Structure 1
Amino acid sequence: MDAELAKVVELQNIMWILIATGSVLFMQAGFCFLEAGSVRSKNSINVAVKNFCDFCLSSGVFWLAGFGIMYSSAGQMFNPDYFFIAITDSPKLLAFFVFQLVFCGTASTIMSGAVAERTTFAGYLVIAFFVSGVLYPLFGRWAWNGHFEGLNLGWLNQLGFVDFAGSSVVHSLGGWASLAAVMVIGPRLGRFSEANQPIQGHNIPMATVGTIILWFGWFGFNGGSSLKFDDTIPMIILNTNLAASFGAISVLILTWLKQQKPDVLHVLNGALAGLVSITASCNAVLPQQAVLIGISGGAIYLASTKVLEHFKIDDVVKAAPVHGVCGAWGTLCVALFGNAEVLNTGLSFTGQLGVQLLGILVCFIWAFFPMYLFLTLVQRFIPIRVKAEDEIIGLNTSEHNANTEVLDLLRAMERQKNESDFGMSVHEEPHTEVGQIAREYNRVLCVAHGEMENTNRANVELMASLRELQLAQTQLVESEKMASLGGLVAGIAHEINTPLGVSVTATSYLERELKILESQYKAGELTSEDVEQFIQGASEGTGIILINLTRATELIKSFKKVAVDQSSDKCREFDLREYIDEVLFSLQPKFRTNKHSIEVSCPEGIVIFSHPGALAQILTCFLMNSLHHGFEEGDLGEVHIEARQAGGNVDLVYRDNGQGIDSDSLPRIFEPFYTTKRGKGGSGLGLHIVFNLVTQTLGGTITCRSEQGEGTEFTIKFPVKLESS
């Protein structure tokens, strides 16, 4: 009866191990959902197939050699029966094998999310092979060898190291290996740009479902590690559940307080952090302690995530903080919270703490450095990271030639953009969300196409109107030039009239005196006194005529030079001071009737090669503006013109003490048709023409400084030698 009962108990234990194996295998689906939902849709297929294939690969590797490396019988270095295992007379051993096989798959698949969205498929399989064939079996041998027989055959567990269900053996090992991998591979494109915005996963509900599946699978992960179905299972599952719940709650509260809103992915990872943290001690702590372990695990996860972001380490699903750091914390909790009777290592608290710290350190060194060196070497022969263009289009397409409805729609949109053909609709896939988007996009295209046609017609009309306005503006500018010359002509004509009138009067006087002299001569009444008197009068008259005709000649010469320059676009060499004097001389008639003064400060000998006509027109405009807009009737206006050579440029400053320009008008004075004298003779084109002459004709710059009642100052800078076009 005892033998039969023992057989029943053994079968019961085998059944429990197999049920737990199934739940741990179901965790592969959880990882798949979590990681596929946490990446962008263009990489979701790639992540899913990596999760599937890494389990297939790790199953084969663990069956071929991994189990034989990890476990051996007492007194044997390796048990040859454990390689290519096919023992048929020990169903319990086979159950133990498949249970350890799914653990190996879990350690391997932890990495798939960390390195997602930029790792080649072939490169990832190499990584999975290294984890499942080298890293996991050897560290598992040090920590768990003899576990099946109830013995301590590994050097770590011989020292008293305890990791009940794999906080270090499975999770920390996978987390530290992930950390090494992401550091070698580098961050995703744009992950740590100036904006530093995290890359959002495409399907958070899917990630949530994946987390729930992992939570469910963890009951088998931790509960099955007892390798028997006894009264410890309920407490193990309770502790597991409490740590997960309070891990999520702690992260929920912390992120809510910091960001004013709960962060969904962080909350999901908080639950996983609690699960990883409780895994090593779930059989040896009380529920209250499990709560503390879960809460602290969530906080530790958040802190370690910040450290990774600070160093710009791109771990997509935060595998290193969740599994690596929280796995180390969970391993340490064995010493901090574990019941010594349950642990049964015979160590003191400090002794147990030291052994646990040693195991944590060994796990980190063994997982991180070999993986880092291995990938650094392998990437010389096998590309580990995809090309930038492949990363941009997504690994679904670049690695698996997988098309999706979204990708087809994006390609259609890209084609329309490149061909600028917005009259053609994109394909509408029926009964899908993407089809609804395509339908609405086509509606927008239809409206946009109509608006574009209307805009094109309006643009044609606007261009025609613009050409007419430009023609009208050109004509107005020419009219303004002619009006300026006309005013100059009128002033010169008036000024010439005076010396010519005096000359005519003097000539009439001489003519009359000559006739008197002639009549005296013919009558024989001419005396020497009369001749002397005539000579004196003639001398005075001719002197008056000569002075006034010379004055008229100079006025005409000055006008001719300035007028010709203003009507010509040619460059020539001229003396700046002499030319300023010529311009002012030609404008004397305008200032003769008032008491305004003009002072020029310009050294002689500044010879420039430029457009003299443009300079004349600029000075004329400034002077006329001062006369008509700056000075009120009765003012004693003062104008100062300063010019100096500064290197290869000329600095010309024009300043008056007139009314000045108000602050509202000052920014607009160079705009065409802007004037404060509308209807009073102001066209608003004078300073606009000046601006164009300075910037385009002289190739210089112009600025204006003015305050109401303080006068106005224009500063012009232009090159001494203008390169002729």
Structure 2
Amino acid sequence: MTNDPIAHIWILSAAGLVFVMQLGFCLLEIGFVRAKNSINVAIKNVMDFCIAGFLFWLFGYALMFGPSVAALVGVGPVMPGADLPSQQLVFLLFQMMFCGTATTIVSGAVAERMGYGAYIMVSALLSALIYPIFGHWAWGGLAGPESQGWLAALGFLDFAGSTVVHSVGGWLALAAVLVIGPRTGRFDAGVNTLGNGNLTMASAGVLVLWFGWLGFNGGSVLGDLERAPGVLLNTMLAGCAGGLAGHFASSLLMRKPAVEHFLNGILGGLVAVTAGALYVGAGAAALIGAIGGVLVIAGGRLLERLRVDDAVGAVPVHLFAGIWGTLAVALFGDVALFGTGLGRWEQLQVQALGVVACGTFTFGAGYGLLRLLNMLVPLRIDVEAERLGLNIAEHGATSPMLDLAAEMERHRSEGKFDRPVHVEPQSDVELIAAQYNRVISKVQTEIQRHELLLEELGKAKVEAENSNTAKSQFLATMSHELRTPLNAVIGFSHLIADQAYGPIDERYVEHAQDINDGGKHLLALVNDVLDFSRLEAGKFQLNEQPVDLRRVMVGVHRLMLPLAEEGALGLTLDMPEALPPLLADERAVRQILINLVGNAVKFTPAGAHVRIQARLEPDWRLCITVADQGIGMDPQQVPKALEPFTQLEGGLAKGHGGSGLGLSLVNALVRLHEGTMVIQTAPGRGTTIHIRFPARRTIEMPARSGAGRPLASSPANAARG
């Protein structure tokens, strides 16, 4: 250190600028965290500087800049006072600010879930032991050759602290977030971020930090004031380039660049150039800063993939960019300015060794001590305190904004909007609270209106249910009354058509056959109406028993075969030789098959084909398929075709007749069995209908030799119990 008073004024001014960086960190972290933790973050930033400053004065300065013992640690006078020479006091004050900066880096990374008391212990650990010891290795020689540490003796260069300050803080921040884990909900499905409190404040924090960095880097020239302008220019260029690169990288990753990426890109550029601001040219400084800005974005994405939760991006900014900046000294620096006697390759090796030494010592010691502390005193707050926020949980501190947020959250969680929130006069949230109360008033009005509407709807529902019951009773009665005479008409017309009472004119035979066919059609319609009325009234009771599906399908195939032959079309049955029994109502299953096959035959032209298929699917669901090569229909008309008493008009189905109840009855019967019906169709391309019964309705049966696929007990069925 020089005795030049002008140099002393410059260094003391720079120390003041570095102190201002504490304000920058405070504003940045408050802006990046949620409002319910903002007071806690602010207090931690103030407290960690008090701890760092006091402990560094108490014995940290002695450890870092005292005469070296084996080039590992300094041993000097503790609690230095005004009796020291002025140049040493100036140097002490300047280095005290650096210790505070390294310490406060951790606060942002662990924000929103580390307890206040636990953070005090972490701050003490960093400022009292880790920072001074590693600082002695790299910077001890600044106080004189007798204080030189082993890294500096090898030629390690770190002009203003990319590694000594920023990487040390970054390594301990990484150790801390790994020990305490992510914030609750941070990596839940669908969660990209937990949100920021105030990005405007975070932007102001970055500008304050940038301003303070002029003292951080500029003051590090110490007495060599002629080199300060070049260092300051390099610092400004790296910050600009880092911000632009971070903004561009964010634009490539997202449709809209993230503000926090841009801000952290600036900081990444500043951190990266800090190690080499004295040794590189302006162009190299800009390139180093730009790469630092991109590394911050990439590092943040890497941590997210690894589910490492850094609340403000402190680890990518200070650790990743710090490592890059330390290595960049050898890659882009002027070898003639190194003053180490090393070539570029040798210098790169020493720089890499310094990075490894810092990581091994800082992360290793930090992680081990934090794990030990966490076993003795939990570093993390409990879930309820995290939900409330550390402002209230740790400090009992509140604000009109937090009070308003708490009342609004109470409304949301309880689902009660029967009282307005408190309006704090002359506060910054008075307008918000008043407007919210207007919304509450409107909600209460709407709730009352909806309650009246629900009451009216309830009355209408009762009336509708009574009407449906009466309709169902009428349909059932009418159906029963019609079936007896219809059976008589069918029977007598059949006798007449068969000329059971003697020969009659052929015209009368045709008319009698027409009467017989019409009677059968009308009886089928009456039966459908009766079944539909019972289903609609909820009186259709399933008689569930193990059903031999193969036997039922063979019977339906035999029953429908004459109808298919009459229409000159093929009707095939395809199923394995063994099917497990189905727990179902046999009559309902038969009705489903008859309706589906009957429709398929009716809508399939001569020469085409209808296929009936049954199979056991891998998940033990029984599937029945009826596929035809008929007229098909527009898929958009399927919902309409499922409505009762509906016939598609004007389309391909015109002229085929029917009750309009077939598909709706099938759908209802399938649903009664907890099954599903899928219809695949297209005009002119036929229709395929899949009926699937749930796996729990499939009854296991022993495998039979040579019986198609084995149906022995499977893990799936075993899991169903």
Inter-partner Cα distance in structure 1 for 2:285 and 2:541: 92
Deviation at 1:237, TM superposition (A): 2.1
- In 1, the alpha carbon distance for the partners of 2:551 and 2:324 equals 91
Q: State whether residues 641 and 652 of structure 1, in contact with CA within 8 Å, keep that contact through their aligned partners in structure 2.
A: no
1:113 partnered with 2:85? no
How far apart, CA to CA, are the structure 1 residues paired with 2:543 and 2:62?
A: 96
1:368 to partner: Cα distance? 1.3
Answering whether residue 355 of structure 2 is matched by residue 322 of structure 1, we say: no
Equivalent residue of 1:379, what SS?
Answer: helix
1:368 maps onto 2:379 in alignment: no
Q: Distance in 2 between matches of 1:658 and 1:288?
A: 77
Which one of the candidate residues 187, 201, 205 is aligned to 1:210?
Answer: 205
Partner of 2:23: 29
| Contact 1:45–1:396 (Cα < 8 Å) also in 2 | yes
Q: How much has 1:685 moved relative to structure 2?
A: 6.3
Does 1:39 find its partner at 2:11?
Answer: no
Aligned mates of 1:644, 1:238 — CA distance in 2: 81
Q: 2:230 corresponds to which letter in structure 1?
A: M
Amino acid of the structure 2 residue aligned with 1:477:
S
Query: Once the two structures are superposed, what CA deviation does each residue of 1:214-238 show, in whole Å capped at 9, x if it has no partner?
Result: 1121222222223337323223222
Q: Answer yes or no: is 1:422 the counterpart of 2:417.
A: yes
- CA deviations over 1:274-315 (Å, ceiling 9, x no partner): 222222232333333333332333233334334333323222
Is the CA contact 2:678–2:690 (under 8 Å) kept in the aligned structure 1? Answer: yes
Give RMSD over aligned pairs: 5.1
Instruction: Give me the whole-angstrom Cα distance separating, in 2, the residues matched to 1:703 and 1:75.
Output: 83
Task: Determine the C-alpha separation between the residues in 1 that align with 2:153 and 2:549.
Answer: 102
CA offsets 1:224-267 (integer angstroms, 9 cap, x no match)? 22333732322322222222222223333443455454433222
The 5 A counterparts of 1:241-280 are 241-259=236-254, 261-280=256-275
**Following TM superposition, by how much is the alpha carbon of 1:83 offset from its aligned partner in structure 2, in angstroms?**
0.8
Structure 2 residue 300 is the aligned partner of structure 1 residue 305: yes
Which amino acid in the other structure matches residue 210 of structure 2?
A: W
Please give the residue correspondences for 1:549-588 in structure 2 after superposition, counting only pairs within 5 Å: none
Does the 8 Å CA contact 1:610/1:720 hold for their aligned counterparts? no
Which one of the candidate residues 627, 639, 643 is aligned to 1:671? Answer: 643
Identify the range of structure 1 (355-364 vs 616-625) with the bigger mean alpha-carbon deviation: 616-625
Per-residue Cα deviation, 1:415-436 (whole angstroms, up to 9, x for no partner): 3345543232222233445332
Q: Which position in structure 2 is the counterpart of 1:291?
A: 286
Q: In the alignment, which residue of structure 1 is the partner of 2:457?
A: 462
Match of 2:127 in 1: 132
Paired residues of 2:233 and 2:282 also in contact (CA < 8 A): yes
TM-superposed deviation, 1:27: 0.9
Amino acid at match of 2:57: W
Equivalent residue letter for 1:377: L
SS of the residue 1:198 aligns to: coil
Change (3 A) 1:138 1:447: same
Partner of 1:70: 64
In structure 1, distance between residues paired with 2:76 and 2:127: 19
Name the aligned partner's letter for residue 250 of structure 2: T
User: Equivalents in 2 of 1:201, 1:20: separation in Å?
Assistant: 31
Asked if 1:52 corresponds to 2:46, the answer is yes
Report whether the alignment pairs 1:382 with 2:377: yes
Structure-2 residue corresponding to 1:192: 187
Cα deviation for residue 180 of structure 1 reads 2.0
1:399 to 394, 407, 410: 394
**Which structure 2 residues correspond to residues 230-245 of structure 1 after superposition, within 5 A?**
230-245=225-240
Q: Tell me, in whole angstroms, the C-alpha distance in 2 between the residues paired with 1:113 and 1:11.
A: 37
The equivalent position to 2:9 in structure 1, one of 9, 15, 30, is 15
- Once the two structures are TM-superposed, the CA of residue 335 in structure 1 deviates from its matched residue by 2.9
The residue that corresponds to 2:173 in the other structure is 178
Question: Is 2:56 aligned against 1:84?
Answer: no
Q: Write the distance in 1 (CA, Å) between the matches of 2:324 and 2:166.
A: 11
The Cα of 1:189 is off from its aligned counterpart by 2.8
Q: Is the 1:81–1:87 Cα contact (8 Å) retained in structure 2?
A: no
For residues 642 and 354 of structure 1, the distance between their equivalents in structure 2, rounded to whole angstroms, comes to 77
Q: Tell me how far apart the structure 1 counterparts of residues 18 and 477 of structure 2 sit (CA, whole Å).
A: 96
Change in CA separation of 1:720 and 1:137 when aligned onto 2, cut-off 3 Å: closer
The residue type equivalent to 1:490 in the other structure is P
User: 2: CA distance between counterparts of 1:227 and 1:135?
Assistant: 24
For 1:197, what is the secondary structure of its paired residue?
A: coil
Structure 1 unaligned blocks of 5 or more = 1-5, 507-561, 584-590, 602-606
Q: Which residue of 2 aligns with 1:512?
A: none
Whether the aligned pair in 2 keeps the contact of 1:672 and 1:684 (CA below 8 Å) is yes
* Alpha carbons 2:63, 2:75 under 8 Å: kept: no
Distance 1:443 1:695, change over 3 A: same
Output the CA distance in 1 between the equivalents of 2:473 and 2:333.
98
State the one-letter code of the partner of 2:12.
L
What does residue 509 of structure 1 align with? none
Change (3 A) 1:689 1:458: farther
Letter aligned with residue 373 of structure 1: G
Give 1:52 deviation, angstroms. Answer: 0.7
User: 2:439 — aligned with what?
Assistant: 444
1:456 aligned counterpart, secondary structure: helix
Alpha-carbon shift at residue 138 of structure 1 (Å):
0.6
| Partner Cα distance (1:269, 1:652) in 2 | 61
Look up the match of 2:524. Answer: none
> What is the letter of the counterpart of residue 668 of structure 1?
K
Which piece of structure 1 moves more, 130-139 or 324-333?
Answer: 324-333
Aligned counterparts, 1:89-104, within 5 A? 89-104=84-99
Partners of 2:282 and 2:310 lie apart in 1 by 32
2:346 maps to: 351
Distance 1:245 1:622 in 2: 73
Contact 1:569/1:613 (8 A) holds in 2: no
Taking the aligned partners of 1:572 and 1:278, their CA distance within structure 2 comes to 80
Which amino acid counterpart does residue 155 of structure 1 have in structure 2? W
User: Is the 1:572–1:609 Cα contact (8 Å) retained in structure 2?
Assistant: yes
Letter in 1 for 2:639: P
Contact kept? 1:16, 1:229, Cα under 8 Å: no
Q: Is the 8 A contact 1:250 1:298 kept in 2?
A: yes
Partner of 2:469: 474
Residues 480 and 686 of structure 1 are in contact (CA less than 8 Å); yes or no, is this contact kept in structure 2?
Answer: no
Deviations along 1:178-198, one digit per CA (max 9) or x if unpaired, are 222222222223333333523
What is the CA-CA distance between 1:643 and the residue it aligns to? Answer: 12
Query: How far does the alpha carbon of each residue in 1:156-203 deviate from its partner, in whole angstroms, 9 at most, with x for none?
Result: 222222222222211111112222222222222333333352343221
Please tell me whether Structure 1 or Structure 2 has the larger radius of gyration of its CA atoms.
1
Q: Residues 656, 347 of structure 1: CA spacing in aligned structure 2 closer, same or farther, 3 A cutoff?
A: closer
Question: What is the SS of the residue equivalent to 1:194?
Answer: coil
TM-superposed deviation, 1:45: 1.1
Match of 2:487 among 479, 484, 492: 492
Check 1:676–1:469 CA distance in 2 against 1; reply closer, same or farther (3 A cut): farther
CA distance in 2, matches of 1:82, 1:657: 100
**2: CA distance between counterparts of 1:102 and 1:157?**
21
Q: 1-side partners of 2:290 and 2:75: how far apart?
A: 45
The answer on whether the counterparts of 1:162 and 1:356 sit within 8 Å (CA) in structure 2 is: yes
The correspondence of residues 473-552 of structure 1 with structure 2, limited to 5 A, is 473-494=468-489
- Which segment drifts farther, 642-651 or 306-315? 642-651
Q: Which blocks of at least 5 consecutive residues in structure 2 are unaligned? A: 502-526, 535-539, 557-562, 574-580, 700-721
Q: Contact 2:28–2:201 at 8 Å: present in 1 too?
A: yes
Query: Would you say 1:154 and 2:149 are equivalent positions?
Result: yes
Looking at structure 2, the residues matched to 658 and 479 of structure 1 have their Cα atoms a distance apart, in angstroms, of 36
In the TM superposition, residue 29 of structure 1 has moved relative to its aligned partner by: 0.6
User: Of 219, 222, 236, which aligns to 2:214?
Assistant: 219
Partner residue, 1:169: 164
190-199 vs 37-46, which moves further: 190-199
User: TM-score, normalised on structure 2?
Assistant: 0.74
Q: Distance in 2 between matches of 1:644 and 1:326?
A: 65
Aligned pair in 2 of structure 1 residues 577, 488: CA closer, same or farther (>3 Å)? farther
How far did 1:662 drift?
7.0
